[in-house]
């Protein structure tokens, strides 16, 4: 999983990731309290490179506050997390 760009961002950012084995992929965004803010990907994917855009909104469509957020990629038993910052 690559670092999002741009970072810091406003209003959107791109997250690129690679899938090494076909399987279920979940990419979620969390706040600093560990609460899930949004799920960007939750589906089966084939081997390859992918990207997803996050618009700084939560699952209900409201804009999140400025600050630090974490995004986590889960593919099978592989888990990776990175930090990003949204500035408004």
User: What's the CATH number where 37 sits?
Assistant: 2.60.40.4070
* pLDDT at residue 49, as a whole number: 97
Residue 1 in domain: no
Per the structure, the count of domains in the chain is 1
CB atoms within 10 A of CB 17: 19
Q: Is 5 a domain residue?
A: no
Q: Does the predicted TM-score (pTM) go above 0.85?
A: yes
Residue 88 has pLDDT above 90, yes or no: no
Q: pLDDT value at position 63? A: 96
Provide the residue range defining the domain that includes 47: 13-86
Residue 14: helix, strand or coil by DSSP? strand
The 10s digit of each residue's pLDDT in 29-86 is 999 999 999 999 999 999 999 999 999 999 999 999 999 999 999 998 999 999 999 9
**20 pLDDT above the threshold of 90:** yes
Rounded to whole angstroms, how far apart are CA atoms 10 and 78? 29
């Amino acid at each position: 999983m690559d670092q999002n760009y741009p970072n810091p961002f406003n209003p959107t950012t791109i997250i690129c990731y690679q899938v090494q084995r076909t399987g279920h992929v979940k990419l979620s965004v969390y706040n600093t309290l560990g609460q899930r803010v949004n799920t960007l990907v939750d589906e089966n994917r084939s081997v390859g490179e992918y990207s997803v855009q996050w618009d700084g909104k939560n699952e209900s469509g409201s804009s999140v506050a400025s600050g630090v957020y974490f995004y986590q990629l889960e593919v099978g038993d592989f888990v990776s997390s990175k930090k990003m910052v949204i500035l408004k």
